Amino acid sequence: MAAQLATLQELGINLYYLASWRDPYGDPQRYAQEIFHHWGLSAQDVLLVLVRGEDGRWRAAGVRGLGVGEWLPQRAFDDLLDQAQGKLRGLHPGRVALWWVEQLVLLAQGELPQRRRALPAWAYGGLALLGGGILGWAAVRRLCPRCLRPLHRTQSWGGIIYRCPRCWYTRTPRRGRGPGSRRGFHP
């Protein structure tokens, strides 16, 4: 870790790390911001805070100074914190801190590819509605409009027709030269 910290200092970034068993605010991000200001950290500093919550789970939070924005973009920094939070579920906090510092060095050197963000939740809802609408439309096209029973596909001398077994409603395709097609009526 000392070599990685030296690499960060060459870029003008000072890294601070705090692991705490107690979170007085109940919000790790607020705790990290309060520590950042209480310690008097500057615009060239980065703080990683790992806090054990009341439920016994570790949480990751971090604050970066405004002066490190060209090496550590906010979105990529937040992505690293999210990944660290995921790793805290299975690894010891010390190992997660070591991994996070390695990734921070790679990000500062421009060697870490930035992840693409997933679509927002409303986009998934819209896609689900669109897909459901298409499936619903296809299902309705296969139902009899009179009695709502499924239409059966039948081969006739004029082509394929769809017929209701109960009320004998008949639907013919709208393409080709068969009855009911758009090219004209052929008996």
- CATH code of 2-108, in short, is 3.10.310.50
For 90-128, the pLDDT digits (tens) are 788 888 888 888 888 888 887 765 555 566 778 888 899
Query: Which value, to the nearest 10 degrees, does the dihedral of the CA atoms of residues 95, 112, 32, 94 take?
Result: 0
Which tokens in the block code for residue 83? 């990944």
| Domain boundary assignment for the chain | 2-108, 141-187
Statement: the pTM of the whole predicted model exceeds 0.85? no
Enter the tokens of residue 71: 């090496």
- pLDDT tens digits for 73-95? 788 888 888 888 888 887 888 88
75 burial via Cβ count (<10 Å: 0-12, 13-18, 19+)? exposed
**What number of other Cβ atoms are within 10 A of residue 73's Cβ?**
14
Model confidence pLDDT, tens digit, residues 131-185: 999 888 877 778 888 888 888 888 877 678 888 988 888 877 665 555 555 554 4
